[in-house]
Structure 1
Amino acid sequence: RRPTDIYPRFKAQGADVMGGRLIPLGDDRYKVTGTFLQIETDEGVSGIGPAGTGATAFYIDTQFKPLLIGQDPMAIELLWDQMYRNAIHGRKGDNMMAISSIDIALWDLKGKFLGQPVYKLLGGPVQDKIPAYASALGSSIEPEKAKERVKEFIRQGYTATKWFFREGPTDGPEGVRKNIELMKALREAAGEDMKIMIDCWSSWDVPYTLKMADLLAEYRPFWFEEPVLADLPQSYARLRATCPVTIAGAEHEYTRWGCKMLMDMGAMDVYQV
């Protein structure tokens, strides 16, 4: 469920997210496009970073490129601060994503220049492995097809999966029923041990989230991700204090200062930064 789905004309468009279509069940090859940034130096070393959307690429090319040409690519902190101060009217969203894209490319460049993997430059490893989950973004949420997708994830060795629920507060009792049916199907396919996370796409509200926590309790959702709009930290704090399901978020908070504010408020259990 996308945030715009509270409006019928957007809800009617469907939930296709991968190139305007759902990924057919069983497909292991499908077209995905992306935009990347490459920073080149006069010494022949280059760095690559993800440029995300066309809007992000626009900001890179028009706002930040002039600040970077001729500068020392090793001075990553200095360049970040100069870009951030230049983006006085763009503290969130595509502007900050553009800065992040450049930052990633600069770290990639620095790692190549020094002959070291970036994780070592950032302090080195702190553990040998980390858990991974299978995102079902783009998969059908029709219960029987969702079951097959979960079984496919299990065959691939995943122990956790995240699903994107389409129904919310404006969809009435029918929407509630569909959410319950989907969660029930996921749990039946996943078994007792697999973790099932729900991404709410910032389209629920506090009462609805608490209601779904109660109605889905027997199927043990592992977390609710971004149940409300990112601009409502007080709502997140209220949910964390009252909701029995783990609350995840902060994907749409773009700076360390914003994340610290959320942490100081105790707004979430899991910070996706």
Structure 2
Amino acid sequence: MKITRVDTFQADAGWRMFSFLKVTTSDGIIGWSEFNESFGSTGLSDVIRGLAPVLIGRDPRRFEQVTQHLHVLTRQSRGGLNQQAIAAIENALLDIAGKAYGVPVAALFGGPIRERIPVYWSHFGTYRVRSAALMGVPELRSYDDLGRHAREVRDRGFRALKTNILPLTDTGLGSYVPGFGRGLGWPELNWDNKLTRGVREQLAAIRDAVGPEMGIHLDINFNFKTEGFKRIADAVAEANLTWLEIDTHDAPALAEIKRMAPCPIASCETLHGRREFKPFLERYATDVAIVDVVWNGLVESAKIAAMADVHEINVAPHNFYGHLCSAISATFSAIVPNFRVMEIDIDSAPWRDEFYTVVPTIENGEFILPSGPGWGIDVDEKAVRARPPRH
């Protein structure tokens, strides 16, 4: 079996773009992976196409050999887009290997430890504040609205949710994301008392709505410097969070925050490869290491999880993408012993399901691991082509 063709596709997914990699073999087996280039990874498809000639004629079942060769070829510019491109290729080759042997990808790693994967509803409220009309759902305009929505999530069987900072403004709920250059507050990334008071009120509304047992996560991204992260950590003390999620590339600073925080800290979702995780693990800077399996590839992600396990740290996949990414992240969640919980986006563009041959099943807040060969989910190429991205 040899690789004969490599293709990338992009599709309109509402406020974002979904991207797919298709690897064709001489035996007619097609491997799929999904990758992300909507948030800071512009040009990733071009990088994949640039690496594609190295793949032609190779045996996709020898995925470790292929990806290690790609790492050697990109060593002078490791990480970043090169790592993400290699990850997309690796995940597509794993799909081929599973299909070639007639088994799920998890079987290539010794089989699943768990087949029902606990998930939390990610971006709770966030997408509805920004894009309710596109999704065809009620707009959230107040913390009372947010509380009612939280009860709906609980009543649908989810045992945890994750929200972002949604400040109350004169016109309703807003979205606070200066760390990504959207709205006021960048590049300074300062905090103030009005913001911290709003965070307390937002979390109190959610906690009052869902009760004491449901898990609540707060993701504050790159929105502050160390000083601000500390102040937010103080503000969330009464909410009894499952974790406070922080993005920073400074391991000592994160370790300092973790030492004073009144709740567990989760981080590392934007890191590439074991070398970038190493200082965070060695400093015990996070309680939960978040691993983006789409950015790192399943093989590398499993190696990161093994490093975290040695440090008595559990891992959780960063997964706010489409259904194929969820199947890939669920496989990671199934095969590593030190698993915490899996992120998943329930809110999305209304046509998201069209892109896939299988829509994942979620029962009682658990993602059911697909049982078909490969990832157990293929991409509907015709549907993807029918919705070209809007630029």
TM-score, with length taken from structure 2: 0.58
Inter-partner Cα distance in structure 2 for 1:69 and 1:210: 50
Q: Which residue of 1 aligns with 2:74?
A: 87
* Structure 1 segments unaligned to the other structure (5+ residues): 1-17, 21-31
Q: Does 1:138 align with 2:127?
A: yes
**Counterparts of 1:243 and 1:115 in 2: how far apart (Å)?**
47
Deviation, 1:33, is 4.3
Equivalent position of 2:34 in the other structure? 50
Find the counterpart in structure 1 of residue 85 from structure 2: 98
Is 2:116 aligned against 1:129?
yes
Shift of 1:80: 0.8
Equivalent of residue 217 in structure 1, options 237, 243, 255? 237
Residue 114 of structure 1: which of 69, 90, 101 is its match?
101
Secondary structure in structure 1 of the residue aligned to 2:118: coil
The aligned residue for residue 202 of structure 2 is 182
User: Given that residues 219 and 244 in structure 2 are in contact (C-alpha distance below 8 angstroms), is that contact kept between their aligned partners in structure 1?
Assistant: yes
Q: Deviations over 1:27-59 (max 9, x none)?
A: xxxxx7411001000110110001321522111
C-alpha distance 144-58 of structure 1, shift in aligned 2 (>3 A)? farther
Residue 19 in structure 1 maps to residue 14 in structure 2: yes
The Cα offsets for residues 192-234 of structure 1, whole Å up to 9 and x where unpaired, read as: 11111011112223332232222221221221112x42x2111
SS in 2 for 1:267: coil
Determine if the alignment matches structure 1 residue 60 to structure 2 residue 48: yes
In structure 2, the partner of 1:152 is 152
What corresponds to 1:161 in structure 2? Answer: 161
Deviations 1:114-169 (A, max 9, x none): 00100111121113433211112413274223222212211210010000112785
Farther off after superposition, 38-47 or 132-141: 132-141
Is the 1:93–1:254 Cα contact (8 Å) retained in structure 2?
Answer: yes
Rounded Cα–Cα distance in structure 2 between residues aligned with 1:70 and 1:270: 40
The whole-number CA distance in structure 2 between the counterparts of 1:260 and 1:167 is 28
Match for residue 38 of structure 1?
Answer: 22
2: CA distance, partners of 1:19 / 1:235: 36
Cα 1:128–1:60 shift into 2, 3 Å: closer
**Range that drifts further, 201-210 or 40-49:** 201-210
Do the aligned residues in 2 keep the contact of 1:36 with 1:49 (CA within 8 Å)?
Answer: yes
- Counterpart of 1:272 in structure 2 is 290
Question: Taking structure 1 as reference, are residues 265 and 71 closer, same or farther at Cα in structure 2, changes over 3 Å only?
Answer: same
Q: Is the 8 A contact 2:190 2:228 kept in 1?
A: no
> 1: distance between equivalents of 2:75 and 2:254?
27
Cα distance in structure 1, aligned partners of 2:192 and 2:229: 14
How many correspondences in the alignment? Answer: 242
* In structure 2, C-alpha distance between the alignment counterparts of 1:33 and 1:206, rounded to whole Å: 32
Instruction: State which of 246, 260, 264 in structure 1 corresponds to 2:278.
Output: 260
Determine whether 1:196 maps to 2:237: no
Q: Which has the higher strand share?
A: 2
Q: C-alpha displacement at 1:171, in angstroms?
A: 4.6
Tell me how far apart the structure 2 counterparts of residues 205 and 67 of structure 1 sit (CA, whole Å): 41
Following the alignment from structure 1 to structure 2, what is the Cα–Cα distance between the partners of residues 128 and 92? Answer: 31
Task: Compare relative contact order (CA 8 Å, sep 6+) and give the higher one, 1 or 2.
Answer: 2
Question: Does the aligned pair in 2 maintain the 1:167–1:178 contact within 8 Å?
Answer: no
Q: Which amino acid aligns with 1:130?
A: I
1:112 & 1:243 partners in 2: Cα distance?
A: 46
User: Counterpart amino acid of 1:158?
Assistant: F
Letter in 1 for 2:290: Q
Q: What TM-score comes out, normalization by structure 1 length? A: 0.82
Q: Secondary structure at the match of 2:58?
A: coil
RMSD, matched Cα:
2.0
Structure 2 spans left out of the alignment, 5+ residues:
1-12, 130-139, 166-175, 179-188, 292-391
SS for the counterpart of 2:200 is helix
The structure-2 alpha-carbon separation of the partners of 1:55 and 1:38, relative to structure 1 and needing over 3 Å to count, comes to same
Q: Describe the shift of the 1:93–1:151 C-alpha distance in structure 2 as closer, same or farther (beyond 3 A).
A: farther
- Secondary structure of the corresponding residue to residue 85 of structure 2: helix
| 1:48–1:108 CA contact under 8 A, matched in 2 | yes
Q: In 1, distance between residues paired with 2:256 and 2:114?
A: 33
